[in-house]
Amino acid sequence: MATRDITTRESLVTAARQTANGMITDVAEVLNETCNLVEDAIVQKSTDITSHMVTRRSRLPAVSWIKVGNGWNASVGLTNQAREGIGMLKARFLCPQDVMDIQANPDKYRSNQERAYIESMGQELSNTLVGNVSGGDLSPATYPPEEFAGFQYRYSSLSTSPTAYVLSNGHTADDDTNTSIWFVQWAPNKVYLITPRNMDGTGLKKEDKGLVYSSGDNAVASTAATGVSPNPTNSLWAYITEFSWNVGLAIEDQRAVKRLCNIDPDHTADDTLNEDKIIQIRNNFKGNEKIYMYCNETTFT
């Protein structure tokens, strides 16, 4: 996973790294990743403003065989409901006007930098969908309240039942190198991403705020420089672009997600991958919807 923990604004240093012979160069996006989870997922509007209600069948109505002329009793089927949350993923591009104005091609420089924000948000969403997995374990152990619960938070209990949601591949070593394969049926009434019902599109939004008066790096000016006490706040003009993604995960049919865990990534090990378990999981899916399989590059090859 690419590093995304640098939180600052644009500066002459970041600009210089894109400049050669007085021109803004093309950027090789070597940190880009293929986010298949995000690409494959379908998106639906939520039932509420900031959350989504799903209704699941919990019991079928009873039916009866009867003799001619006999009566029969009424029965009822039951349902239960669950509320799925929507998280808000935010990012901000901020470049001081002084830095932007001295660029050979300000539009290209800004475009180069803004493109990386969309990539970073896609990677973060993909990681959250799985469960913010770090070294085979959940990181953190419980998902933050600002986020939504990914697959691994929901499918964490191992079962020996052949029709269970989580099956073990067999690697039992006490380490953090184990990996998993995920099987997902992206479909309406199965598994899908949700966005607020009053938002357009997929919930992903980019907004050019233009030239904005904002705080500088040295936010508090010195008394010597101003002759005023208390000290005022240093400010500057900056170009700002806001990025936001309001999105959540809804699982209506819990049978539409399955997991093969405890896979040894070492291809020379005996329990690196049991293909029979993959066939078993495939046969346990219900419906004709396409089944997507997700794994890391080591397991895939």
The per-residue pLDDT for range 245-276, each reduced to its tens digit, is 999 999 999 999 999 888 887 766 666 788 88
pLDDT at 86: 93
pLDDT at 22: 47
The per-residue pLDDT for range 146-194, each reduced to its tens digit, is 888 899 888 988 876 766 789 888 777 666 678 889 999 999 999 999 9
Residue 120 near residue 114 (C-beta atoms within 8 A): no
Q: pTM score > 0.85 for this model?
A: no
pLDDT at 84: 93
pLDDT at 199: 87
Query: Which tokens in the block code for residue 295?
Result: 């794994």
Instruction: Provide the CA 91 distance to its chain's centre, in angstroms.
Output: 14
pLDDT at 12: 42
pLDDT at 266: 72
Going by the DSSP 8-state scheme, the letter that residue 62 receives in this structure is P
Instruction: Provide the CA 1 distance to its chain's centre, in angstroms.
Output: 13
Scanning the structure block, which residue is given the tokens 């959350």? 51
Residue 258 DSSP SS3: strand
pLDDT at 9: 56
pLDDT at 246: 93
pLDDT at 209: 94
pLDDT at 250: 95
Q: Is 88 exposed, middle or buried (0-12, 13-18, 19+ CB in 10 A)?
A: middle
pLDDT at 216: 74
pLDDT at 81: 92
Q: Is 166 exposed, middle or buried (0-12, 13-18, 19+ CB in 10 A)?
A: buried
**What's the rounded Cα separation, in Å, for the pair 190 and 64?**
30
Residues of the chain with pLDDT under 50: 1, 3-6, 11-13, 15-16, 19-22, 24, 27, 29-31, 134-137, 139, 220-223
Angle at 113 between CA 101 and CA 296, to 5 degrees: 170
Nearest to 53 by CA among 83, 24, 77, 78: 83
